[in-house]
């Protein structure tokens, strides 16, 4: 599987289009990062072969002291500077040696497993501590083999929680692999509150409407992905065109009280490897703030927008309307 299963958008449970923008804001922009490959390893060899002009750089970037994909500090500095926070989704993958032997010599296996990291790695643990201490959200990046495997998802979630020392509430699937509604049933069953996998790696925009989805009409919500950085015009080639694309999404969000979300992979903050993407991210967030957006992580938005109680209440939720009344009363005082 790669990407959303075809027909995912037609699932009847996606008709809801809730736009709970917090008071005083024009729209919402949710910030997310999938932690795929914090170390540049096999990519260096690949780029050395395909990008002859920079061969020397790509080979030298394999040296452990260089680590161009280790961008946690830069991203945290940008967000701290702008006064915003994001969510970081961590992968818990099997090692290649734990997969069937027949997979070992396939290209897919190398794409999937080379550069794998472990949540037990001391540097990863230190980063998770820093993120948690600084009020960033830490979530799960479901592995390639998890979308249809509830036990695996449960174990992966627990592995992140063990390092975090707290509950994980949000998930995005690696490669946006999503079987609808099966994957969401699994996410909900293992105690996740939201999924952020509905979307495209090829197209940006509001293909799934402007609001939050509730596939099961309960407290489990889906935040459709509005922009994955790689779907935008290349900011290294033409920054203004890339920025104009972001600006059009922000304007559309503002006009429609939308809940928009963006995904910037940490490696795209390596200026040498992905020129322009870091600056584009910073400019996008600054612009969103200028336009009056609530900006933050999906987990924080879930709390601020009080998404645990569906607007219509659920069949089993006798207290739903009472909660809503209470909220109305709060807002009048
Ligand atoms: Zn991924």
Instruction: Say if 13 falls within a structural domain.
Output: yes
Length of the chain, in residues: 333
Distance 264 CA to ligand 1 centre (A): 11
> Is 2 inside any structural domain?
no
Domain range holding 215? 8-332
Q: Tens-digit pLDDT profile for the chain (333 aa)?
A: 789 998 899 998 898 889 999 999 999 999 999 999 887 665 666 666 677 777 667 666 655 556 777 899 999 999 999 999 999 999 998 776 677 777 766 766 666 666 778 899 999 999 999 999 999 999 999 999 999 999 999 999 999 999 999 999 999 999 999 999 999 999 999 999 999 999 999 999 999 999 999 999 999 999 999 999 999 999 999 999 999 999 999 999 999 999 999 999 999 999 999 999 999 999 999 999 999 999 999 999 999 999 998 887 654 444 443 333 333 333 333
Ligand 1 centroid–CA 323 distance in Å is 37
CATH number at residue 194: 3.20.20.370
Q: Which whole-number Å values give the CA distances from 261 to 54, 137, 265, in the listed order? A: 33, 15, 13
Between the CA of 322 and the centroid of ligand 1 the distance, in Å, is 40
Question: What pTM was estimated for this model as a whole?
Answer: 0.86
Instruction: Confirm whether 1 is domain-assigned.
Output: no
Domain annotation covers residue 204: yes
Count CB neighbours of 322 within 10 A.
12
Specify if 283 maps to a domain: yes
47 three-class SS: helix
For ligand 1, the distance from its centroid to the CA atom of residue 138, given in whole angstroms, is 15
Give residue 144 CA to ligand 1 midpoint distance, Å: 8
Report how far ligand 1's centroid is from the alpha carbon of 90 (Å): 9
Distance of CA 260 from the midpoint of ligand 1 (Å) = 19
Split into its structural domains, the chain has a count of: 1
> Could you tell me the distance, in angstroms and rounded to a whole number, from the CA of residue 13 to the centre of ligand 1?
25
Question: What DSSP element (H or E) covers 125?
Answer: helix 122-133
Cα 198 from Cα 256, distance rounded (Å): 19
CA distance readout (Å), 302 to 21, 132, 277, 282: 11, 17, 27, 23
Cβ 126 vs Cβ 134: under 8 Å: no
Distance CA 76, CA 71 (A): 9
Is residue 3 domain-resident?
A: no
């Amino acid at each position: 599987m790669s990407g959303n299963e075809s027909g995912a958008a037609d699932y009847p449970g996606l008709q809801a289009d809730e736009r709970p923008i917090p008071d005083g804001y024009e729209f919402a922009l949710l910030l997310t990062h999938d932690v795929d490959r914090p170390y540049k390893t096999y990519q260096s060899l690949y780029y050395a072969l395909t990008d002859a002009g920079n061969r020397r750089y790509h080979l030298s970037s394999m040296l452990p002291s260089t680590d161009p994909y280790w961008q946690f500090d830069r991203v945290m500095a940008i967000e701290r500077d702008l006064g915003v926070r994001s969510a970081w989704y961590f992968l818990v993958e099997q090692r290649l040696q734990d997969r069937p032997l027949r997979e070992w010599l396939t290209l897919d296996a190398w794409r999937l497993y080379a550069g794998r990291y472990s949540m037990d790695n001391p540097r990863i643990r230190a980063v998770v501590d820093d993120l948690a201490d600084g009020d960033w959200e830490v979530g799960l990046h479901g592995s390639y083999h998890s979308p249809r495997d509830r036990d695996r998802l449960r174990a992966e979630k627990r592995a992140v929680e063990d390092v975090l020392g707290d509950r994980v509430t949000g998930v995005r699937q690696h490669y946006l692999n999503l079987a609808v509604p099966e994957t969401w049933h699994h996410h909900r069953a293992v105690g996740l509150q939201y999924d952020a996998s509905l979307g495209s790696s090829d197209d940006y925009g509001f293909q799934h409407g402007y609001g939050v989805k509730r596939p099961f009409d309960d407290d489990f919500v889906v935040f459709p992905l509005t922009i994955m950085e790689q779907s935008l015009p290349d900011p290294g080639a033409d920054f203004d065109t890339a920025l104009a694309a972001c600006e059009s999404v922000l304007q559309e969000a503002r006009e429609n009280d939308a809940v928009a979300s963006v995904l910037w992979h940490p490696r795209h903050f390596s200026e040498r490897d992905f020129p322009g993407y870091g600056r584009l991210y910073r400019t996008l967030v600054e612009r969103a703030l200028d336009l009056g957006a609530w900006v933050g992580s999906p987990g924080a938005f879930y709390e601020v927008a009080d998404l645990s109680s569906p607007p219509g209440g659920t069949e089993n939720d006798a207290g739903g309307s009472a909660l809503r009344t209470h909220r109305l009363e709060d807002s009048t005082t």
